[in-house]
C-alpha cells in the first residue's frame, strides 16, 4: 500500500530539492504549484475568476497571468491572499486528491503531496483540510536568513522584497511543531540527502509508515 505524505516548507527552504530526492527514490510527487500553473492558463475559468477579483491589470498582453504582478499584490495584503486562496485552493486540492488516488492505485511506494501552504490550510481546518489524509507530514526547514539569501539568488529580488515574502508565510518554526518529520536543509546537499534516505527507509521500507513523538492530529485532520 502506498504511503501518503504531505510535504511543505517555506520560500527558500529547499522543499523542491527534497521532493526531487524523494522522486529519485521512487515516490510520485504531486506538485501543488505545478497544478496551479496548469489551472491558470489563458482562458481558464480559474484565471477568469482571478482577473475578476483583482482586475485585468494582473494579465499580460497575451492574456496570461502576470505572476509577478499578482505576487506584488498578495504578498503585501493578507485579505488579497485569502481571496486568491478561496479561488484557487479548492480546485487544486480536488485535482491533487484525484492524482494521488491514481498513483496509489498504480502501486507507487510513496505519494508525496507537495503543498507550500499545507499547514496553513490544515491548521485552520479550512480550505481543503477535509480532503487530505496523510500517513505522515514533512516540513523542510532552513533559517530565515538562509531563506532570504536563497530567494534573492533564485529570483533576483532585493532583500526587502525577499524578507517581505518570507514574513508573509507561516514561520517555519511553527510548521516544525505541526509536522511529523523535519528535514534540516541548512547544511548542504549531502546532509539533506542522508536525512531523506533515512526518512525514506522509515516511511516506505518494510516497516511501513511511522511518525515521531509529535502529535499528528492537526496534520491528519
Containing 138, the helix (H) or strand (E) segment is strand 136-141
CA–CA distance, 5 with 209 (Å, rounded to integer): 9
Contacts (Cβ under 8 Å, ≥6 apart) of 203: 3, 5, 110, 135, 136, 209, 210
Tens-digit pLDDT profile for residues 51-91:
999 999 999 988 999 998 998 898 889 899 889 989 998 89
C-beta of residue 10 within 8 angstroms of C-beta of residue 175: yes
Check whether 112 has a pLDDT greater than 70: yes
C-alpha distances out from residue 128 to 23, 105, 146, 150, 213, Å: 24, 22, 30, 29, 26
Instruction: Of 122, 70, 198, 150, give the one whose Cα is nearest residue 113.
Output: 122
Q: Is the dihedral of CA 26, 200, 169, 187 positive or negative?
A: negative
Whole-angstrom Cα distance, residue 123 to residue 58? 30
In terms of CATH, what superfamily is 3-40+92-220? P-loop containing nucleotide triphosphate hydrolases (3.40.50.300)
Could you read off the pLDDT of 191-216 as tens digits, one per residue?
A: 999 999 999 999 997 544 443 333 23
Sheet with 3-8: strands ordered across = 28-31, 110-114, 3-8, 136-141, 181-184
Amino acid at each position: 500500500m502506498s504511503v501518503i505524505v504531505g510535504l511543505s516548507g517555506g520560500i527558500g527552504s529547499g522543499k523542491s530539492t527534497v521532493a526531487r530526492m524523494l522522486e529519485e527514490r521512487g515516490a510520485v510527487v504531486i506538485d501543488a504549484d505545478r497544478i496551479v500553473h496548469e489551472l491558470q492558463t489563458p482562458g481558464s475559468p480559474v484565471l477568469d475568476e482571478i482577473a475578476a477579483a483583482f482586475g485585468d491589470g494582473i494579465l499580460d498582453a497575451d492574456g496570461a497571468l502576470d505572476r509577478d504582478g499578482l505576487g506584488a499584490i498578495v504578498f503585501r495584503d493578507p485579505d488579497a491572499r485569502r481571496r486568491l486562496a478561496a479561488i484557487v485552493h479548492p480546485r487544486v486540492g480536488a485535482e491533487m486528491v484525484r492524482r494521488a488516488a491514481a498513483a496509489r492505485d498504480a502501486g507507487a511506494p510513496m505519494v508525496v503531496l507537495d503543498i507550500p501552504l499545507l499547514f496553513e490550510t490544515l491548521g485552520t481546518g479550512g480550505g481543503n483540510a477535509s480532503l487530505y489524509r496523510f500517513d505522515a507530514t514533512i516540513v523542510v526547514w532552513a533559517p530565515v536568513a538562509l531563506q532570504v539569501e536563497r530567494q534573492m539568488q533564485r529570483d533576483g529580488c532585493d532583500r526587502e522584497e525577499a524578507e517581505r515574502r518570507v514574513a508573509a508565510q507561516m514561520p517555519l518554526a511553527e510548521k516544525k511543531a505541526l509536522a511529523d518529520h523535519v528535514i534540516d536543509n541548512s547544511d548542504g546537499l549531502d546532509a539533506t540527502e542522508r536525512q531523506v534516505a533515512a526518512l525514506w527507509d522509515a516511511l516506505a521500507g518494510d516497516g511501513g509508515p511511522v511518525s515521531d513523538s509529535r502529535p499528528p492530529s492537526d496534520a491528519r485532520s
